[in-house]
Homo-oligomer: A and B are copies of this chain.
Amino acid sequence: MVGGMLSKNTVKFIKSLHQKKYRVESGKFFVEGEKSVIEVLQSGFMVDLLLVTKEFATKNTSLLTGIKAEVLFVTASQLEQVGQYQSNDSALAVVQMKPNEAFFPEEGELILALDEVRDPGNLGTIIRIADWYGIKKLIFSPHTAEFYNPKVIQSSMGSFTRVHFYYGELAKAFQEWKLPVYGAFLEGVSIYKLTNPTPGVLLLGNESQGISKEMEKWVSSKVTIPSFGKAESLNVAIATAIFCDNFKRLVHQ
């Protein structure tokens, strides 16, 4: 770790990472704020560049010892200039994306599948929920929000470091896996009435359209969250949480 200065080119480069185009081009994204930066440094992600304030460096000397990333000392106002946070007095990391590698579920594992969830805040919240419920593998349809969007990273609260995800054709994966697919629908069997559900895939759909007609064919069990009032629907992240909660409760009972 050697502390250098922040150059104009570096500022320009980090700012470019606010746009998907430049993230994809460079294969890099950024992570900001104390908690998330500490988590990404302790994860399997490769950090290329780390901007830290003196305060962050002092509090986290052991974490920075022997670090491979280039480390630059900056002020809080420099962090706020390059990042998206309105206030950040700790750190920002430029990190390498991981390759988009398919996974195969293990026996008894619960998998989360998202069919065109578009809002980055929803995706980040869903990743945090998955991490809370110990769901380690997520598959996203090709047009689901981008995992490396700064808002996804922010709303996942560090959980983005602990999940294995990939973007791919859901139908192809479901065909290979041969697992039950539980789909969240407004009409389906009450999730309270499931007994000993075989673990498999929990499928959640788009914010306004729900699960697409194309994917509906792959659903082996249509399940629904009982309603006791008059709201027409629940936000997709809320629905994900309630599905995960009920499944985990039933499987662990």
Contact = CB atoms under 8 A, between A and B. Distances in A.
A104 interface: no
Interface in A223-253: 225-235, 237-238, 241-242, 245-246, 248-249, 252-253
Chain A interface size, as a band, is 35 or more
Given A128-B235, A237-B238, A238-B237, A245 B225 contact: yes
A226 B248 contact: yes
A174 to B, nearest CB: 24
A79 to B, nearest CB: 20
Contacts of A136: 229
Nearest to A251: B228
Given A238-B237, A242-B245, A131 B231 contact: yes
A52 interface: no
A248 B234 contact: no
Given A241-B242, A245-B242, A246-B245, A229 B134 contact: yes
A230 B252 CA distance: 17
Interface in A5-30: none
A146 B105 CA distance: 45
A130 interface: yes
A135 B249 CA distance: 23
A40 to B, nearest CB: 14
A241 B248 contact: no
A54 interface: no
Interface of A: 121, 125, 128-136, 155, 157-159, 162, 192, 225-235, 237-238, 241-242, 245-246, 248-249, 252-253
Given A133-B228, A242-B241, A235 B162 contact: no
Given A225-B245, A245-B225, A246-B245, A162 B230 contact: yes
Contacts of A253: 192
A190 to B, nearest CB: 9
Contacts of A125: 235, 238
Given A125-B235, A238-B237, A132 B248 contact: no
A192 B241 CA distance: 15
Contacts of A228: 132-134, 248, 252
